[in-house]
Structure 1
Amino acid sequence: MKYMIVDDEPLARQRIKRLLASFAEFECIAQTGKPDEVMTLIVQHQPQLIFLDISMPEISGLELAKRINSLPAIPKIIFVTAHPQYALDAFGVFASGYLVKPIEQSELHQLLQHLFPPKIQYTLGNQTRWVEVREILVARADDKYTQLYFRAGQAIIETSLKQLSERYPEHFVQVHRNTLVKRSAMKALVNNDGGYFVSVEGFPEQIAVSRRAAKAIKSSN
């Protein structure tokens, strides 16, 4: 994901880059504090996302957004500003998001997850496909591979359960040493014949839950 930063404050540009450093899929391909350079840089680098300050000398971020929206390929725009009163004006020029300085990591992460839902690549036959992480109901370890189950089908990937859990902790909860489930889709935890099982909305069978995981699930409810 290629992004560009437009802000006349160097420290503000540095902060955005620092906050995005942990997002491996995001790459800063251009930055500037000069509004008159923006359109040239967009044409040159073709960013998919622009962080745009509203209050800048000579040309405001709102005016720049109007010009950007006239391009054939329009990048998403996230306004960053110290003035929350501009929010309504920002969305009037079709902004994708609005962040108030100083930007918080959690707010930035939440907005990016909404705008660019994370996807996992897999191969079906000779075709490369992607499934959004939020669509995955269950992930099960299968020898050296991981089997994913989602409403539209199944997929086999080489990413381990540990890697999935570490990358998407807000989505997955580990219910067994070989199984992750979608946290928000868990419906009921039951104890049958001395063992625990959980129902997952949209998944046709109950899933075995370890005693340790069952205890953690109970304590979190």
Structure 2
Amino acid sequence: MRKMTIGICDDEKIFINILKNMVIECLNKRQIEGQIKTFESGKELVESSFELDVIFLDIEMPEFDGIEIGKIIQQKNSNCKIIMATCRTDRFKEAFQINAFRFMTKPFEFDELEEIINAVQATRIGTDVIELYNNRNLFKIKQKEIQYIKTYDSYSEFVTKSKIFRRDIALCQLEKILDNRMFFRIHRKIIINMLWVQKYDREYIIINNVEMAVARRKKKKFEQAYMEFDVTYR
């Protein structure tokens, strides 16, 4: 999975440094690769070309306040998760205008930050793209769109809801690049995406009305992985 890109925007440098150090500690604890960019004004943030997964945004800032900046961010990058960080809890209602993902109150608490980082990370599941071919045309497909993968002698077949793609790659190589939180190898020649499982009866998995057997030696590990996925990401 690509690095989580995190922005911190506050007109007070002391709060930027405190939050930056806490974010670094949290990423290290959760073993998440991240890149942090700081901004000392809303103007600097808006003019930046830095693509963010999440922005910690102070509400009270000169020139542009956090609500105004949040509206601009939503227009530029609707996938960016906005975290409103402020001591002004009376302004939290305004944050609904920009679909704020979470709120943080100053002074910052590590447990609160950790919950936010975990929640953001969960939304990023399966968002990395993989290059696949259909009729010799190259497509970049988000991993979460892949329902299951079958391998044949010289290629692998990727089944999505609307198309079947191909690529010359072995399953053992695929396992290294696929998001292992949602993909599981149920058989020597099959990897399934747990997001698309319609039914599992301890013998077979059904995805898009296609029945696939789970190898006997894989059953216990699959059941554990599927339970964890169902609780954490559904």
Q: Which TM class, normalised by the smaller chain length?
A: 0.5 to 0.7
Normalized against structure 2, the TM-score is what?
0.65
Contact 1:173 1:181 in 2 (8 A): yes
Q: Deviations over 1:149-188 (max 9, x none)?
A: 1111111235653465464233122211221112241513
For residue 184 of structure 2, what is the aligned residue in structure 1?
173
Judged with a 3 Å threshold, the aligned counterparts in structure 2 of structure 1 residues 20 and 39 are, in CA distance, closer, same or farther, namely: farther
**Which structure: greater helix fraction?**
2
Partners of 1:218 and 1:41 lie apart in 2 by 45
How far does residue 213 in structure 1 lie from its aligned partner after superposition?
1.5
How far does residue 68 in structure 1 lie from its aligned partner after superposition?
5.1
Q: How many residues align?
A: 204
1:213 aligned residue (206, 212, 218): 218
Look up the equivalent residue of 1:92 and give its one-letter code: Q
Pairwise CA RMSD: 3.9
Partners of 1:141 and 1:47 lie apart in 2 by 35
For residue 67 of structure 2, what is the aligned residue in structure 1?
65
Contact 2:74 2:98 in 1 (8 A): no
1:5 maps to 2:8: yes
Query: Which of 149-158 and 100-109 deviates more?
Result: 100-109
Higher RCO (CA 8 Å, separation ≥ 6 residues):
2
Q: Deviations over 1:12-67 (max 9, x none)?
A: 1244456568667x755x422x22xx3234324253555133355x4498x23314
Judged with a 3 Å threshold, the aligned counterparts in structure 2 of structure 1 residues 107 and 218 are, in CA distance, closer, same or farther, namely: closer
Q: Deviations over 1:66-122 (max 9, x none)?
A: 145358952335115376956533222343x22545322422312444xx8333232
2:206 aligned residue (200, 204, 207): 200
Judged with a 3 Å threshold, the aligned counterparts in structure 2 of structure 1 residues 94 and 72 are, in CA distance, closer, same or farther, namely: closer
1:53 maps to 2:57: yes
Q: How does 1:14-33 map to 2 (within 5 A)?
A: 14-16=21-23, 28=36, 30-32=37-39
Q: How does 1:107-186 map to 2 (within 5 A)?
A: 107-113=119-125, 117-125=127-135, 127-143=137-153, 145-157=155-167, 160-162=170-172, 164-165=174-175, 167-184=178-195, 185-186=197-198
For residue 42 of structure 1, what is the aligned residue in structure 2?
46
Unaligned runs of 5+ in 1: 191-195
Q: Which SS does the other structure have where 2:127 is aligned?
A: coil
Unaligned runs of 5+ in 2: 228-234
Q: Which SS does the other structure have where 1:214 is aligned?
A: helix
For residue 187 of structure 1, what is the aligned residue in structure 2?
199
User: Percent identity, aligned pairs only?
Assistant: 13
Contact 2:8 2:16 in 1 (8 A): no
Q: Which SS does the other structure have where 2:76 is aligned?
A: coil
